[in-house]
Amino acid sequence: MSSTIAVVGASLAGLSAARALREQSYDGRIVVVGDEVHAPYDRPPLSKEFLAGTASLEDIALGAPDDEDLGLEWRLHTTAVGLDHPSRSVLLHDGSTIRADGVVLATGARARRLPGSEGLDGVHVLRSLDDAIALREDLAAAGRLVVIGAGFIGAEVAATARTLGLEVTVVETQPVPLAGPLGADMGVVCAGLHADHGTRLLLGTGVAGLVGTGRVEAVELTDGTRLPADVVVVGIGAVPNIGWLARSGVALGNGVLTDARCATNIPGVVAVGDCAATWSAAAERHVRIEHWTNALEQPATAVATLLGAGGPAPTPVPYFWSDQYGARIQFAGSRREGDVARVVEGSCADRSFLVVYERDGRPVAVLGMNQPRLFTRWRRQLRAAVPAGS
């Protein structure tokens, strides 16, 4: 009797896991469970081309013609509500179960919402295709947008809204946006893109609440200022979708806890993508990486683990990019406080530069703005320099 592997999550990480199973010669049944009605799609364009109306549903589809040959059993618009680990059964919201010999957890994350915003029209988060469709419709009839949170999603939405002709204000509680991943100096430089393009940026300012009856009318700040708003976008981070595993016996923290090869504490269960907190020997802790490249590449390791293949733990170099106001920002590596940032090419004032972060004289990360070729060369060097198993 053929074995079954259940992949819970039908976004990039889940689809990549299904593809990896076939690539690694698994010939059993593969069931892919996804809570959205949509087939897998690419999320990065949601805040940019799709939101601007320059990319269609077909443009952002992740499916490829070769996927027809994978023989996948899709269970879309279906939510997993539990995992019985002794029988490795995935429990579904309609009362049915999927008994499996192996399980890949790829349920991703959901956008964090602003308390008190429930039931108020005009207030949006952006994580899913349906989120993007609803936001796009609202922006088409709006004149003033307030974005809460100056992280990458907030910045991209702000940039897209400016191209659509809206008046945009971005509110950020921290004194410097993106200081965590980029450091304060480079955070200031990247945040300068907002001013360059007429977006108002308010820093070190908290949100006290939203004003409006039925529909949002303004955002009230902690200093009493009210910002008139036709639409509000909340971009204050994401929460891993792991609540459904609370009684499963799977070890949880800031995500599903796994070793460096994606194995959980339950035999036959692995976790990948935004829902997984993977052990990092370099960081000496579990790290949850919410980046597209990780969701694409990590499933191959998880599948190898699930199928019993050995080998050293991978040593990925985190990588992400962001497109804002026509500028491409790229970052690879891991920055810590105390690392020295050095401009090795271009000029920050010209919005075209490459910065290398050094620790004890050794390159550990690289940041580029509008320097794709040079950045790619440095990223390759970083990957080559990472010792195996670190």
Enumerate domains of the chain plus CATH numbers.
Answer: 4-110+239-306 (3.50.50.60), 113-236 (3.50.50.60), 326-385 (3.30.390.30)
The Cα angle at residue 296 between residues 291 and 302, in degrees rounded to 5: 105
The Cα–Cα gap between 204 and 200 comes to: 13
**Chain segment 306-322, per-residue pLDDT in tens:** 999 978 888 888 999 99
Question: β-strands 238-240, 109-111: how paired?
Answer: antiparallel
Q: Quote the pTM value.
A: 0.94
For residue 387, the model assigns a pLDDT of 58
Does residue 232 come out as left (phi exceeding 0), alpha (psi in the -120 to 50 range) or beta?
A: beta
Average pLDDT (284-295) is 93
The Cα–Cα gap between 302 and 97 comes to: 23
For residue 390, the model assigns a pLDDT of 44
Q: Which has the closest alpha carbon to 73: 39, 103, 26, 32? A: 32
Q: Do the Cβ atoms of 220 and 211 come closer than 8 Å?
A: yes
Residue 254, token pair as written in the block: 């800031």
The Cα–Cα gap between 327 and 346 comes to: 14
The Cα–Cα gap between 197 and 218 comes to: 23
Residue 138, token pair as written in the block: 């609202």
The Cα–Cα gap between 376 and 374 comes to: 5
Q: Which has the closest alpha carbon to 151: 125, 132, 122, 133? A: 125
Could you give the C-alpha distances from 85 to 162, 267, 271, 282, in angstroms and in order?
49, 9, 14, 31
**Chain segment 104-130, per-residue pLDDT in tens:** 999 999 999 999 898 899 999 999 999
